[in-house]
Amino acid sequence: MNREFFTHFLMLSSWQIFAIFAFLGLMFFSIKKLRDKKFSFSFRMIFALIVGLILGFFLQFLANFPNEAEAKAIVWFGEAKHWLGFFGAVFVAFIKMLVIPLVFACIVKVIVEIDKDIKISSLLGVSLFWILFSTTLAAILGLSLAVMFDLGSNLTMQESSRQIREISSFTSILLNLIPSNIINAMSRENIIAIVIFAFLVGICAKNISKKEEYEKPFESFKNLAISFYGLMMQMTTMVIRFMPYAVVCMMANVILSNGFEAMKTAGLFIALSFLAMFLMFGIHFLILLSQGLNPLIYAKKAFSVWVFAFSSRSSLATLPLTISTLQNKLGVSSAVANFVASIGATMGLNGCAGYFPAMSAVLVASLLGVEVDFSFALMVVLVALLGSLGIAGVPGSGTMAASIMLAGIGFGDNFVLLGLVLAIDPIVDMARTASNVSGAMTSALCTAKNLNAIDKELYLKS
């Protein structure tokens, strides 16, 4: 009975797990010391990332790099995955707890406080252009890499237990963005629906403020909105402080949870995904350069955001840090930073809705012996662009993007061919999410530059 209690309930039945706890305690103490000695947040994030990778590979080595079946038989290995996953999940849960109220507060504050120099229509139009433009480039990149490296030509796919998700028509996707039940939309983390609702609240509040009898109530509402926004940002700052500790656990858990056998079999897809991530960073740099913004400054200040996006695999969980970095380090105005980052966490995801579904389409086409010609390529890019409107920025959204893509190009019945790719999805998702977040930040910077809503001195400040 006692053995069962420690093994199945506490999951603390082996000496290895206590050794891992001791190591984590030592690393957490080291991270705290780095903070006390005023090492930058980016440095602490890099340190945490490296420690997590080393820990994950070392534990795999101790277990003799087991496959999935062997890993289940190693008690301490399963306990290590459980506790590392738990520590990472706790932090992400705190962050995601803040996302819904933060997005609502951000959008309402943007509308009620928006500067007369920035028109709401201009903010919406310019931001959507940059978000969708970068996604189009990402889809073209993914398509090009997959064709160039002949993805799928030497790959034997396994069948997957996952099924293709139900795909609606384009008009249905647009209709589903409108929240018929805002509480339900919040519970499902439908960020676009929340943005639309908050947008209407802000617009209506601003309109009634022009009526004399509502002038004083509007001021009270405006002060409440600003105060609530300040409260949410303060809570966000407090939670973000613990981010490096979580990164250690999240990175180690990713290495433990994905066997090396699957990684080797789907190695080309993983390599191309990471190559696409780096190339997307380069594309983002060129976009910023075209707008007169120094990309090296952007890279230096955005690096900690990339690291957390890479580790957490969630655009939504990264959203508070994205907004904070845009405003406080890159000089983007509050209105642009909050608005663009919020919609960019769900719409136009460069990785999940851009190069990943495009690569998946070429992979399946290759396995089916379908020629990838110009008309096929054009269809892939268009489906990727339209599908990006309905993708949610949470871990695993790439599966939905792949479903939309395959259904859109007529391969819906062949979703099982992506079985092996989906098996290593968490690894690919790290690259996708980093690309998603960088794309949203780039769009926010370009929007701010176009609308003269960027503090150039703060951007250039080291």
Q: What is the pLDDT of residues 336-382, one digit of tens each?
A: 888 888 888 877 789 888 889 899 888 888 888 888 888 888 888 88
Would residue 35 be called left, alpha or beta, if left means φ above 0 and alpha means ψ between -120 and 50 degrees?
alpha
| pLDDT of res. 223 | 86
| pLDDT of res. 261 | 59
| pLDDT of res. 115 | 62
- In the chain, what percentage of residues exceed pLDDT 90? 21
pLDDT higher than threshold 90 for residue 279: yes
pLDDT higher than threshold 60 for residue 149: yes
Average pLDDT on 45-61 reads 87
Q: What is the mean pLDDT of the chain?
A: 81
CB 283 within 8 A of CB 141: yes
Average pLDDT on 272-299 reads 94
| pLDDT of res. 249 | 87
Average pLDDT on 102-108 reads 80
| pLDDT of res. 265 | 60
To 10 degrees, the CA torsion angle through 338, 344, 347, 351? Answer: -160
Burial of 306 (0-12, 13-18, 19+ CB in 10 A): buried
| pLDDT of res. 57 | 87
pLDDT higher than threshold 50 for residue 245: yes
pTM for this predicted structure: 0.77
pLDDT higher than threshold 50 for residue 393: no
Report residue 168 CA to chain centroid gap. Answer: 24
pLDDT higher than threshold 70 for residue 397: no
Structure confidence at residue 395 as a pLDDT band (50, 70, 90): very low
CA–CA gap between residue 445 and residue 430 (Å, rounded): 23
Residue 356: which of 390, 311, 403, 413 has the closest Cα? 403
Structure confidence at residue 172 as a pLDDT band (50, 70, 90): low
Domains of the chain: residue spans and CATH: 119-190+259-460 (1.10.3860.10)
Structure confidence at residue 26 as a pLDDT band (50, 70, 90): very high
Average pLDDT on 180-189 reads 78
